[in-house]
Amino acid sequence: MSLKGKTAVVTGSNSGIGLGVARALAGAGADVVLNSFTDRPEDHALAAALVAEFGVAARYMPADLSKADEARALVEAAARCDILVNNAGIQHVAPVDQFPVERWDAIIAINLSSAFHTTAVALPMMRKAGWGRIVNIASAHGLTASPFKSAYVAAKHGVVGLTKTVALETAEEAITCNAICPGYVLTPLVEAQIPDQMKVHGMERETVIREVMLTRQPSKEFATVEQLGGTTVFLCSDAAAQITGTTISVDGGWTAL
């Protein structure tokens, strides 16, 4: 599968799943725009590393996706966007009646509204190019709920709804829009929680992963950022040209329960 000549914008891609997806797209030959809200030398170094490893063009472009104008300006500044991966996301856990309003607003803005803004700017570019792929990184929480995650669950269900609507609006064009719904993924953030959980529960690493962290993931294994990258590349391939408006779960069976 070659994505040579395509430009991918991956939001929230200076770590975790976004970086894994950007690496997979670069590995398939796509030029890549990396993004997060910070503007540090190490962010730009991530783009330089993709150039060195894969021989593609890569840039890091800071934009705070909690702000509509910055989300839109990111895609405008990219100038070309054949593949848009809406990945940026944050989490906050609290009961509904104690959920801080500021956290609710931030989660809806970053996890849901930013995908609307980037898509709105990317679609005319895709139409001009006559081809496009939109991949929204939703979550198992886009299809099911957990207590204390009201904003996250609402935003991720919203992303799935946005995905279906955009797919219908582009159905007769060579543009697809799909959502990937990961279960628990082994990102640096999750990895960092394991030693604490081992201490709190007095358990070995493998036991804490199986019994505590992956209680809802029947496979009892984390998904990996490489697997999410591979799923994204598949959705960008010709084999997936008739896959649109759907969700692909990468969750070890979570949503089959």
Where does this chain bind ligand NAD (CB under 6 A)?
12-18, 36-37, 64-66, 87-90, 110-111, 137, 139, 182, 184-185, 187, 189-190
Q: Coil, strand or helix: which one is 32?
A: strand
Complex with ligand NAD: residue 62 or 173, whichever CB lies closer: 62
Nearer to ligand NAD, 89 or 132 (CB): 89
Alpha-carbon distance 65 to 136, whole Å?
14
Shortest distance (Å) from residue 194 CB to ligand NAD: 13
* 71, 118 contact by CB (below 8 A): yes
Strand duo 31-34 + 7-10: pairing: parallel
Quickly tell me which residue has 């640096």 as its tokens.
188
Nearer to ligand NAD, 12 or 132 (CB): 12
Residue nearer to ligand NAD on the CB measure, 68 or 203? 68
Residue from 152, 184, 222, 254 carrying the catalytic annotation: 152
Helix ranges, the chain (H) = 16-27, 41-54, 68-78, 101-107, 114-129, 150-169, 188-201, 205-207, 225-235
Distance in Å, CB of 121 to ligand NAD, minimum: 15
Measured CA to CA, the distance from residue 227 to residue 22 in angstroms comes to 12
CB of residue 71 vs ligand NAD: minimum separation in angstroms? 8
Largest distance between two CA atoms of the chain: 58
DSSP 89: -
Between 28 and 61, name the residue whose CB sits nearer to ligand NAD.
61
- Which residues make Cβ contacts (< 8 Å) with residue 25, sequence separation at least 6? 3, 8, 10, 32, 83, 85, 229, 232, 233, 236
Closest residue by Cα to residue 10 from 102, 101, 98, 137: 137
Spatial contact of 159 and 138, defined as CB atoms under 8 Å apart: yes
For 222, the token pair is: 């984390």
What is the nearest approach in angstroms of ligand NAD to the Cβ of residue 124? 22
184 given a catalytic annotation: no
Smallest gap from residue 189 Cβ to ligand NAD (A): 5
Question: Which active-site residues does the annotation give?
Answer: 152
